[in-house]
Structure formats: C-alpha cells, structure tokens
Amino acid sequence: MKFSTDVSPSERMSRKNRSRYKPKSFLALILIGFSIVGLPLISALIYSAIRIDQLSEQSRYNVYHATQITNGTSVIIGEIMAMERSVQHALVLDDATLLEGYFIAHTKFESITNHLSIISTYPEQQLSLEKLRLLETGIFREILDLKTHPQDLQYLLDRFAALLNLAREFSTDSFRMIGQSVGNVSEIATQTRSLVEWELLILVPLVIFLALIFSVFIARPVRQIDEAIAQMGRGNLSRPIHVNGPQNLTYIGERLDWLRLRLLRLENQKIQFFRHISHELKTPLTAIREGADLLAEGVTGTLNRKQQVIAGILHTSSMQLQKRIEDLLNFSALQAEIITLVKQRVNLKKLINSVIRAQNLSILSKSLTINLNCPELFLECDIQKLDVMLDNLLSNAVKFSPEYSHIEITVLYDEDKVQIDIMDSGPGVASIDEDRVFEPFYQGRNTPENHAKGTGLGLAIAKEYAVAHGGNIELVRNTGKCGAHFRLMLPINRSEST
C-alpha cells in the first residue's frame, strides 16, 4: 500500500505564514466572532440611545420653556392690569401715594420680562418682549414726571390698553411657537423611530449573515478534526490531515497528522510482518503436511488404528493451519493493494456445488441440509477469488449452524447484478457485532464454544474481493428469521446469462 507521508518545506513555510494571521486559540476565535457580530448591534444601540437622549433633553427643555413662558405671560398680564389699577386709583382719588402699587408692579414687570428674554430662544419672542419693555418704560418715565399731579395721568390709560394688547399678542405668539416646538419634537421622534426601524431592517440580516459566516469559521476546524479522527478510526491513513483554524486547533491537526504517519508506519510494519511470517511458516508446514500424508499412506510402514487417528489429526490440523496462513497471505496482499483479477467464464451453479463438496465433511459431521436454489447462470469473474468468497460465507454458515438444521442458498439476478443469499439457522449476529463483522481479526460474540476460533479474516477478505469485482457483501438485518443472513452482490451483464 503506497501512502504520501512527507510534507514539502515550502508547504510547511506557507502554513507557518498563514498561522501568523490566525487567532492563537479557539476561545479567541469565538470572542472575535462575537465581537464582530455584536459590533453593529452595539453601535446601533449606542446611536439610538444618543438620539433618544437628545430627544428627551429637547422635550424637557421644551416643557420647561413652555411652562416658563406660560407663567411669565400670565404674570406680565397680571402686572400690567395691576399697574393700570394703581394709576386709575391715583387718578380718581387724586392721591399720588396710591402710585406705590404701580411701582411695585413695574418692578415685577421688569424682572419677569428680563427673565423671559434670557430663556427665550426665538427672535420673535425677544422682539415682542423688547416692544413691551420700551412701551412700559415710556409709561414709567411719564408717570415719574407727573406723579405730583395725578390728575394729569388720564391720557396714559389708553397706553395701558395698548400695552395689555401687546402682552396678549406676545402670549398668543408664544403659544404658537410652543406648538411649533412640540411639532418639531414630534417630527424628530418620528424620524428617530424610522431610523431605528431601518437600522433593524439592515442590521438583523447583516448580523444573521455574519453569525452564519462565523459559525462556519468556528465549526470548520472542529469538523475537520472530527473527520480526521473518523478517517483514522476507519483505517484510512493515506490522506494528510489539515486543520484550518486557530493556532491551537491547527497544532492539534499537526499532532493528528503525526499520529497518522506513526500509525501508517506501524501498519506497514504489521503488513510486512504478516507477509514474512506467513512465508516463513509455509515452508515447515509443507514438510509437516507431506510427512503426515506419508504416514497416513503407510509409506513408512503399516500404522495401527491409534496411529492412523493421530496421522489423521495431524493432516486435519495442518490443513487448518494452511488455511489460516493463506488467509494471512491474502490479507497482506489486500493491505498492499495487490488485487489482480483474472476473469474467466464460469458456471455459477457448478462453482457453488464445488464449494459445498469442499465443505462436505463439516456438513456431514453436523447432519446439515443444504437447500440450493440457483438458475443456470454464467459469470465473467476471477474464479479463485469467487471461490474464496463463497467458501468463507458457507464455512461461516456451517460453523454457526446447529446440528440437524439447514442452510439456504438462493441466487437471483437481473440485468445489472447477481445476488447470492446465504442464510443459516444459527444464533445469528449479535446486534453489537453487526457493524464490525467485516473488520479484520474481529471475532463475534456468538462463536460456538466447541469450535476452534479462526483468524477473523474470512469476511474481511471476501468483502475486499467483492469490492474488487465491483460488487459488495453485506449483512442483511432484521429479516424476521433466526440465523445470519449474508448477501453477496456482483455486477452482471445480460449477455453473460443463459
């Protein structure tokens, strides 16, 4: 089996350069991902909070301004009416001392107009306040000039009426401006709400898109590590392991690749050991078999009954040992990918009968019945390897079948494939063994106690031979019958059948 085990220096250098720009840890990658995904939302929340805070501040100012203007306007109108009453009383009673109420109201009027002029932000309000102050100041100066002659204040009463009308116009204009300000705040609130809605419409898909991208970046190295471990678990050691991600996960990938190379070397050493030990055992085994055959044939002299039994045991054991060694040789050849098919035309029914005859001693010893249902069918295949497949499947069926039971062999075919089903009457394959029956060297849990255990290579070799032919061997599960049910499928052309 040939594998690529080396990494070029240029590739190592490129990996090192790429790792400089990667996060140092998986946690750092997650934090970066959350930061980038959350940054648009955080920015939108901060911007919305600023806008809402500005709107709230504007609303508070407008409420304060409206309250001050409303109260101030009421005070101005009240003080104008108080000043007018004081002048009227002084005029009627011709008493200058009664103007003291006017001067008190005048002081309050100046104070409130100065205050409103400071808090007012509208030029129209400030202009109206300035007109009020000028008109009231003119009245005040004239009253100062005529306070010793109250009877001369009659003409000023019309000036107070004009001052009162101007104050009421100021109040009306102020309420109009307050309404405009409230409308502006409402418009700003509508714009802010619309802006927040647009932010949501834009940011939600963007955040989902960024989350999907970073979920791929975060999940990819974990998935690569999981796939690498699964490949190694299945014995696929030919593909190098690359993990793209944070530096600590990349380092884990490098260590996994080191482990892959280590396992690959051990696998090659194991295959080489199997090959050598099998060949080394084959030579003395041949001598043992020939010696046992010579003894059984009486070449060295006539054997008594006990000696013949011992010679028979030697012959049978040597045959079993040869079968185990051949399995090891076949398996090492499979591991080295040395599978050469020499296809010939063969009568499938005759080949199956030949395999049954080869197992005849075991079948007779357990008084088994073989029910074969096979049409006359010719295949183009490697006869020797098909014989191995059928022999392994039938020997398993014989091995696990109880005495006086039967084995069913059924052959079906269509234009594309031939299907060979072999069903025994034994305990079947344990559910815990179903996924591992084709693994090399695996021994199932339902092995008969009085039967010598094999190498566990028969089904593995048979499956590899079937795959090499373009077919497969599978365990048919949940058939509703007792016993094991194996199915061999091989490709077939219509022209191959008769």
Contact predicate 492/486, CB 8 Å? no
- The pLDDT value recorded for residue 255 is 86
- Enter the tokens of residue 452: 């010598």
Give buried/exposed letters for 258-271 (b at 16+ CB in 10 A, else e). Answer: eebbeebeeebeeb
d(CA 76, CA 106): 10
Residue 392 has pLDDT above 50, yes or no: yes
Q: Which residues are within 8 A (CB) of 332 and not within 5 positions of it... i.e. 6 or more apart?
A: 271, 274, 275, 278
pLDDT, tens digit, 9 for 90 and up, residues 363-387: 888 888 889 898 888 888 888 888 8
**pLDDT class of 496 with cuts at 50, 70, 90:** very low
Q: Of the ranges 6-10, 202-206, 327-331, which one carries the lowest mean pLDDT score?
A: 6-10
Check residues 6 and 438 and name the one with the higher pLDDT: 438
- Enter the tokens of residue 51: 């806008």
- The pLDDT value recorded for residue 273 is 72
- The pLDDT value recorded for residue 2 is 41
Give me the mean pLDDT over the 382-409 stretch. 87
Contact predicate 73/174, CB 8 Å? yes
Cα separation values, 364 from 105, 223, 406, Å: 137, 54, 12
Cα separation values, 376 from 9, 169, 496, Å: 61, 119, 11
Residue 61 has pLDDT above 80, yes or no: no
- The pLDDT value recorded for residue 479 is 58
- The pLDDT value recorded for residue 495 is 44
Residue 488 DSSP one-character state: E
For 279-302, give the DSSP string.
Answer: HHHHHHHHHHHHHHHHHHHTTTS-
Please measure the distance between the N-terminal and C-terminal CA atoms of the chain and give it in whole angstroms.
Answer: 39
How many CB atoms are closer than 10 A to CB 369? 12
What percentage of residues in the chain have a pLDDT greater than 90?
Answer: 2
- The pLDDT value recorded for residue 136 is 82
Cα separation values, 462 from 138, 230, 366, 428, Å: 123, 24, 24, 19
**pLDDT class of 13 with cuts at 50, 70, 90:** low
Largest separation between any pair of C-alpha atoms in the chain: 177
Angle between helices 458-468 and 305-335 (to 10 degrees): 50
Q: Which residues are within 8 A (CB) of 247 and not within 5 positions of it... i.e. 6 or more apart?
A: 19, 22, 23, 24, 25
d(CA 347, CA 411): 13
pLDDT, tens digit, 9 for 90 and up, residues 253-283: 888 888 888 888 887 777 677 666 666 666 6
Residue 450 has pLDDT above 70, yes or no: no
**pLDDT class of 456 with cuts at 50, 70, 90:** low
**pLDDT class of 410 with cuts at 50, 70, 90:** very high
370: β partners: 407
- The pLDDT value recorded for residue 1 is 42
Mean pLDDT of the chain: 77
Residue 336 has pLDDT above 70, yes or no: no
Give me the mean pLDDT over the 448-455 stretch. 56
| 369-373 and 417-423 strand pairing | unpaired
Check residues 191 and 380 and name the one with the higher pLDDT: 380
